Amino acid sequence: MADRILVFYGSYRRDRAGIRLADYIVNGLAERGVDVELIDAQAVGLPMLDRMYKEYDAGEAPLALEALAGKIKAADAFVFVTGEYNWSVQPGLKNLTDHFLEEWFWRPAAIASYSAGRTAGVRSALAWRGILGEMGMVVISSGLSVSAVPDTLDEDANPTGKGGESLDRQFPRFADDLAWWTEAARSQRAKADPPF
């Protein structure tokens, strides 16, 4: 059975370069036989958090929220592709994740960060480690970080230049690490109910 992985992307900006990184990851995982889907926070279009999914009575949640809850619950693992905004996380992606809680539990998560500057979004990635851990996910140690996305990936998410070469070298370890934790978590969930 193929791993079911959701790749989350959170920018709402008009000229979104980071979507190239999300597409690169989706393409790379698909080439490895993963059942992968991109979840674009802007396309999902959830409102600013008022009520979490679990706070709605059965059948009363907005359709987009209900559909996404089902996808999250059915997934084996997650990848969060995050830009860095003012040394921190993107509000669009944070808003999307905050609509859920128990749906995330007991699955691994990976983080891929980017920014226009040379820090490649690592401050955002660091913030996300704590957020995702608090939301019940195990964050893998391998990450991807990209600075100057247009110099690393072309408009079709193909690697270009030295940045693209570097990304291609990083990706196999990132994907292997996520695959190992995905299998470990799925195996453990099949053996024993989570402790809470």
Per residue in 153-171, pLDDT tens? 999 999 999 999 999 999 9
Q: What number is the average pLDDT over the span 64-83?
A: 98
- Sequence ranges of the domains in the chain: 4-191
- Tens-digit pLDDT profile for residues 37-52: 999 999 999 999 999 9
Check: pTM over 0.95? Answer yes or no. Answer: yes
**What CATH code is assigned to 4-191?**
3.40.50.360
What token pair was written down for 85? 């905004």
Other CB atoms within 10 A of residue 164 CB: 17
pLDDT score of 116 = 87
